[in-house]
């Protein structure tokens, strides 16, 4: 047995609905601007090829856990997203509901300077997620998020600019997709700030829901 120079961190995992075998997260890829109305609210338009950014695997926050308000921001934003969980050979294993938490103030600064988004997107605990529902049937219904019971985001999965299949094809041109990869597929319009104490609840028809408290 190999001895390591520093302690090995636990494997990040996401529960799988109806199973006692958790999903081991390899990496998290995220699509930017995949709903037209959200692209417009972010100042973009048109159907540019999808672009990707990533979060570290251990950014996942399992269902039921609180989300700590991150350091270095005064404008933490919610982005509700359909998440695709990949199985062997990059096939679809299942789907989950996720929130792509964003330090919007940092992101705006990075955009203005042409700098990378890592610190705006890939910070600790930036990927709260529901249990994964196994199955390859791509959801087509409503995606929504509320803060303290007030609906902030409500859209339709069918309104994605790039469909789940197209997103996976494009990602597959850039990376060899493997079991354990999670793909956040973009958010509809209505992103906005959340604060300490807020209760965030999200859902995707046919997949399920998630909720977390910001602490
Ligand atoms: Mn997003």
What pLDDT score does 46 carry? Answer: 67
Q: Which residues of 110-147 are buried (b: 16+ CB within 10 A; e: fewer)?
A: beeeeeebebbbbbebbbbbbbbbbeeeebeeebbbbb
Report if residue 111 sits inside a domain: yes
CA–centroid distance, residue 139 to ligand 1 (Å): 18
Report if residue 21 sits inside a domain: yes
Report if residue 148 sits inside a domain: yes
Are 100 and 107 within 8 A, CB to CB? no
Report if residue 118 sits inside a domain: yes
CA–centroid distance, residue 5 to ligand 1 (Å): 36
Report if residue 8 sits inside a domain: no
CA–centroid distance, residue 38 to ligand 1 (Å): 10
Residue 72 CA neighbour count, 13 Å, CB half: 10
Specify the number of domains making up the chain. 1
| pTM score, whole prediction | 0.96
CA–centroid distance, residue 18 to ligand 1 (Å): 28
Report if residue 6 sits inside a domain: no
CA–centroid distance, residue 187 to ligand 1 (Å): 5
CA–centroid distance, residue 3 to ligand 1 (Å): 38
Report if residue 116 sits inside a domain: yes
What is the CATH classification number for the domain harbouring 113? Answer: 3.90.850.10
Tens digit of pLDDT at every position of the chain (215 positions): 799 999 999 999 999 999 999 999 999 999 998 998 888 888 877 677 889 999 999 999 999 999 999 999 999 999 999 999 999 999 999 999 999 999 999 999 999 999 999 999 999 999 999 999 999 999 999 999 999 999 999 999 999 999 999 999 999 999 999 999 999 999 999 999 999 999 999 999 999 999 999 99
CA–centroid distance, residue 89 to ligand 1 (Å): 25
Q: Give the whole-angstrom CA distance, residue 200 versus residue 29.
A: 22
CA 212 distance to own-chain centroid: 14
Beta pairing partners, 67: 214
Report if residue 162 sits inside a domain: yes
Q: Which residues of 53-62 are buried (b: 16+ CB within 10 A; e: fewer)?
A: bbbbbebbbb
Instruction: Please give the residue range of the domain that contains residue 118.
Output: 13-213
């Amino acid at each position: 047995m190999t001895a390591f120079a520093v302690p090995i961190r636990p494997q990040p995992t996401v529960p799988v609905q109806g199973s006692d075998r958790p999903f081991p997260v390899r990496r998290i890829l995220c699509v930017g601007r995949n709903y037209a109305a959200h692209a417009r609210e972010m100042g973009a338009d048109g159907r540019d090829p999808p672009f990707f950014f990533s979060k570290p695997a251990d950014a996942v926050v399992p269902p039921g856990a609180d989300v700590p308000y991150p350091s270095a921001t005064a404008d933490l934003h919610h982005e509700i997203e359909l998440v695709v969980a990949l199985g062997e050979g990059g096939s679809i294993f299942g789907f989950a509901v996720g929130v792509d938490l964003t330090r919007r103030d940092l992101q705006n600064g990075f955009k203005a300077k042409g700098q990378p988004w890592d610190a705006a997107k890939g910070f600790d605990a930036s990927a709260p997620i529901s249990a994964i529902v196994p199955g390859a049937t791509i959801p087509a219904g409503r995606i929504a998020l509320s803060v303290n019971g007030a609906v902030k985001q409500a859209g339709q999965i069918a309104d994605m600019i790039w469909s789940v299949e197209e997103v996976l094809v494009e990602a597959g041109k850039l990376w060899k997709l493997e079991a354990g990869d999670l793909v956040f597929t973009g958010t509809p319009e209505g992103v906005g700030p959340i604060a300490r104490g807020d209760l965030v609840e999200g859902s995707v028809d046919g997949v399920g829901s998630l909720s977390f408290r910001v602490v």
